[in-house]
Structure 1
Amino acid sequence: MTHPTDENAGSRATDRHVGLLPADVPAALAAITSRLVGNPDNAAVLRLITEVGTGLLGARGTGVLLKDPRGEPAVVSASDEAAQFVELLQTELRQGPCVDCIATAAVVAAPDLTRERDRWPGFASAALAAGYRAVVAVPLKLDGEAVGGFNLLFAAPTELQPWQSALAQVVSDLAVLALVQETGTRRSDRLFEATLASLNDRVQHSQAVGVVAGTLGTDPETARSLVNGYAARHDRPLREVTRALVDRTLDPADLAG
């Protein structure tokens, strides 16, 4: 899966947000935190991470990996089909910035993937072919251990400013807390449960996208936007909407209303 590389797209996206001063970040964090209050479902939490990555941080695409009960990284969220392809590639090849990020529990940055072919030969070549030139992977940490990673994918060579790196880490930490919603020794178990639920949600979401694309005769990316947009407009959990589409209690034609 490839799409044309736009060398300027990443720069334009980043430039739009360079003007966001550190003084503005508390307001953004307040808005993020307010959305995490009230026991949101896993899909809503992961969607929020994506919005921060492609919005405030100016990434072209984002993805989230979480360790499954076997300790293996698994893709639980992606901003679009291209990002999902790149994230799945990391799990299959067992190489890439997010894999290293989880292994080291530290931020792994690749400001220019053309210089990383020796470091991640399979991943770097495929990511470049998919239109990405830079990647930043931020660890999702629980009790000091990396339990996943948040990937920011850029279309042009990119280095995050210090406040952007800090915001990415804070949002990642908030997301883990929201996914866990537990204290004490049960926290790890809760995270494994959340990971499995997120994996099941992703499979169901893909099925729903296929139903919409096939019924409406549109491409998967448009179908994905229709599904996500319907859930947001009607303030319904994404899991509930995708289940209704899969079991045909929701007509795909209603999504475009």
Structure 2
Amino acid sequence: MTDRLAASMVEITDGLTDERGDPEVLYQVTTACVDVLGASATGLLMVDPRGIIRLVTASDERAEFVELLQAQIDQGPCVDCVRSGELVVATDLSRETTRWPSFAPAAMAAGFHAVEAVPLRLDGKPVGGLNLLFADPGEAPQWRLDAARSLASLAALGLAQEPSVRRTERLFERTLAAVNARAEFGQAVGMVAGGLNIDVDRAWTIVRHHARSHHVALHIVAHAITSGSLRPADLDPSAEQA
């Protein structure tokens, strides 16, 4: 576990120093939460310049639904985490229906029964939240919370890497850019899934493999697909097995 976490941290840190782009770094963070920390799914919410909480990325469609729901109804552990800047843990959502009367039943219906929400901070202020979703209720071990905090810090750095008074302003700009990139990336993955007659998860793997193997940022590949300059048929379908 320690070796896998360390390897994930190295990969994410490497992404901060090259030109992979925000979507790739954020994907690595959410992937590490699932593959290394054992979450069933993960989502990342950020605050835009108008103070509106927005979904930036999610590990799968169920997580995307749960995160979008929180942002839309302004209720849930990640929303509380963003507003307060504090860790929010719900070990059993069946006991949280009074606290979150709309969110808790919807999350359980989606298959999630425990949540750990970790704040993203920049210059001491909460700017977002990393949400770990679990299929089964259970206590949150301290090592996992500590690791999630470290991953949340890397996610924040991935969106704002300027050590100056413009960091918060730049974070807002890049948050909006990440939201827009997520929308275009989702469109690109959908086009690949439809064009190759495969499911969305396999399409995502193929697009990401193409970006990595050609040393091109994900958002550039996504734009090439949506603009028609890169056809789904031109991608390597064997990557779906990677």
Q: Normalized against structure 1, the TM-score is what?
A: 0.85
Cross-structure match for 2:73: 93
Give the residue type in structure 1 aligned to 2:29.
I
Aligned partner (choices 112, 116, 120) of residue 136 of structure 1: 116
User: How far 1:128 sits from its partner (Å)?
Assistant: 0.7
Equivalent positions of 1:1-257 (< 5 A) are 20=1, 29-38=9-18, 40-255=20-235, 256-257=237-238
For the 8 Å contact 2:20–2:218, the answer to whether it is kept is no
Q: 1:24 to 1:62 in 2, by over 3 A?
A: closer
For the 8 Å contact 1:39–1:178, the answer to whether it is kept is no
TM superposition outliers: structure 1 runs of 4+ over 2 Å: 23-40, 216-236
Deviations 1:14-65 (A, max 9, x none): xxxxxx35x8855654454334333541112101211210111011111101
Bigger mean CA offset, 208-217 vs 144-153: 208-217
Q: 1:40 to 1:33 in 2, by over 3 A?
A: same
Deviations 1:130-169 (A, max 9, x none): 1111111100001111100001011111322212111111
Deviations 1:208-237 (A, max 9, x none): 122122222333333333323332343321
Give the residue type in structure 1 aligned to 2:223.
R
Identity percentage of aligned residues: 47
Q: 1:210 to 1:33 in 2, by over 3 A?
A: closer
Q: 1:70 to 1:33 in 2, by over 3 A?
A: same
Give the residue type in structure 1 aligned to 2:47.
K
In structure 2, C-alpha distance between the alignment counterparts of 1:246 and 1:119, rounded to whole Å? 42
In structure 2, C-alpha distance between the alignment counterparts of 1:107 and 1:84, rounded to whole Å? 20
For the 8 Å contact 2:5–2:32, the answer to whether it is kept is no
Structure 2: give runs of 5+ residues left out of the alignment: none
For the 8 Å contact 1:141–1:148, the answer to whether it is kept is yes
Partner SS, residue 221 of structure 1:
helix
In structure 2, C-alpha distance between the alignment counterparts of 1:101 and 1:183, rounded to whole Å? 25
For the 8 Å contact 1:81–1:221, the answer to whether it is kept is no
User: How many residue pairs get matched?
Assistant: 237
Partner SS, residue 147 of structure 1:
strand
User: How far 1:187 sits from its partner (Å)?
Assistant: 0.5
In structure 2, C-alpha distance between the alignment counterparts of 1:248 and 1:168, rounded to whole Å? 38
Q: 1:251 to 1:87 in 2, by over 3 A?
A: same
Q: 1:216 to 1:155 in 2, by over 3 A?
A: same
Structure 1: give runs of 5+ residues left out of the alignment: 1-19
Give the residue type in structure 1 aligned to 2:154.
L
Bigger mean CA offset, 117-126 vs 233-242: 233-242
Q: 1:187 to 1:134 in 2, by over 3 A?
A: same
Q: 1:181 to 1:59 in 2, by over 3 A?
A: same
